Structures are given as structure tokens and as C-alpha cells.
Amino acid sequence: MRPGNKFLHSLFEVTHVEFQTYDLYNHKLIFSSGLAYRLLGYSEAEYFKHSNDLYKSIVHPDDFQKVQQTMEKIIEAKEGDVIEMTVRMRKSDGFYIWTNSRQMILKKNHNDHIFTIIREVEDVTKLMEIENELEEKLKQLTAISYKNSHLLRSPVVSIIGLVDLLDEQGITSEHNMQIFNFLKESIRKLDDIIHDINDAAR
């Protein structure tokens, strides 16, 4: 961070807000209040170097197109518009973290080339990991539901049909009737369990 007003420096620290002046047409960072490069573990000089070409050297390759699209939105935005972006950024230790940023144009210069941007930047890696874990669990539940509905319930339905058929024909032996009633009750319970699994999976 460059020397400046002490109050503003304290404000940056307390609110976790990043102030930047960025030349979006020449893809060059002019000023940073310091939050972004401290979050990523870079020195000020390193972060300014990485800022060239829209931070391409530290943005995850799969997310760079999103950065370009976000910058285009910022160029077209009006003062006061808030543009949000979630991408992976490489820290100084080589590991990537998910960062969420909300940026708003504070002002443009007379030729609309240099933008002063206020940004809120935070590490949302844990949140993204939880989201990905939930998505994976949902896929597993969907697979279980499919197997439950199509693979397991099909033979159960067949057995229920056979039990109903035997019930209609009648069973005379008392011993066989006991076995039949036990089978009938068990298959009904199994069918109820299958329905409960399906309901839980939804």
C-alpha cells in the first residue's frame, strides 16, 4: 500500500475492502490498497507484476474467461453498478484458493480508460468445498434413488404380484398359511422401506 491518509488505511483494514485503480484498457494495476495481495500472500511488487493482463498469471486457467467477461461487464457498467465474480487464484505458496469479489466503479477518468474500483474480496474456499461436497452427495443420492426405484423395486413388485395371486387362489395348509402370511408381511415392509428411501432421496 502506498502512503496516504491514515484514516483510509484503517478503514481498509477494518472493513476488509480493497480499493484499486486499474487501467482496464492497458490491463495494468495502478493502485491497490493492499487487501488482495495480502490475502494471496504476495508482496506489493509481486502483486502488481501479476496484475498485468487481467491477473492471467495467477488466475486458474479454467476461470480466466470468467475474469475477461467480468472486466467487460465493468467497462460497460454505470457508476454504482455492482459486478460479482468467483474465481480461483494462485497464492504465493502455489496453492489455489476460491475468491469471491464484488466490485463497483467508483469513478472513470475523462477518456473512460482508467477506472477506480472498490472491491470486496474474501476467501470462500471452505464454502466452495462444502458446496462441491453437497453436490457430490446429491449425485450419490440420485444414483441410490435410481437403483432403488428401478433395480430393487422391480423384483419387489413382482413378488407382491405373486403373493397377491397366491392369496386369491387360497392356501389350505395351516403351516403354509403361516409361511405365506410371514412372506406377505415382510414384502409389504420391504416395499414401505423402498418408498421411504425414495422420499428421503428427493
Q: Which residue has the cell 443420492?
A: 141
Stronger pLDDT, 71 or 157, i.e. the higher one: 71
Weakest mean pLDDT among 4-13, 56-65, 156-165: 4-13
The helix/strand count (H/E) of the chain reads as: 8, 5
Query: Using CA atoms, how far apart are residues 36 and 59, in angstroms rounded to an integer?
Result: 13
- Taking the CA atoms of 61, 62, 65 and 68 in sequence, report the sign of the dihedral they define: negative
Q: What is the pLDDT of residue 3?
A: 43
Assign residue 112 a region (left: φ > 0; alpha: ψ between -120 and 50; beta: otherwise): left
pLDDT in tens, 115-172: 677 777 888 888 888 888 888 887 877 777 776 666 666 667 777 776 777 677 666 6
Query: Using CA atoms, how far apart are residues 165 and 157, in angstroms rounded to an integer?
Result: 12
pTM for the structure as a whole: 0.61
Q: Which residue has the cell 403361516?
A: 178
pLDDT in tens, 156-199: 777 777 677 767 766 667 766 776 777 777 777 777 777 777 67
Instruction: State how far the alpha carbon of 2 is from the alpha carbons of 8, 27, 143, in Å.
Output: 11, 20, 55
Asked if pLDDT for residue 24 goes beyond 80, the answer is: no
Q: 1: pLDDT confidence band, cut at 50, 70 and 90? A: very low
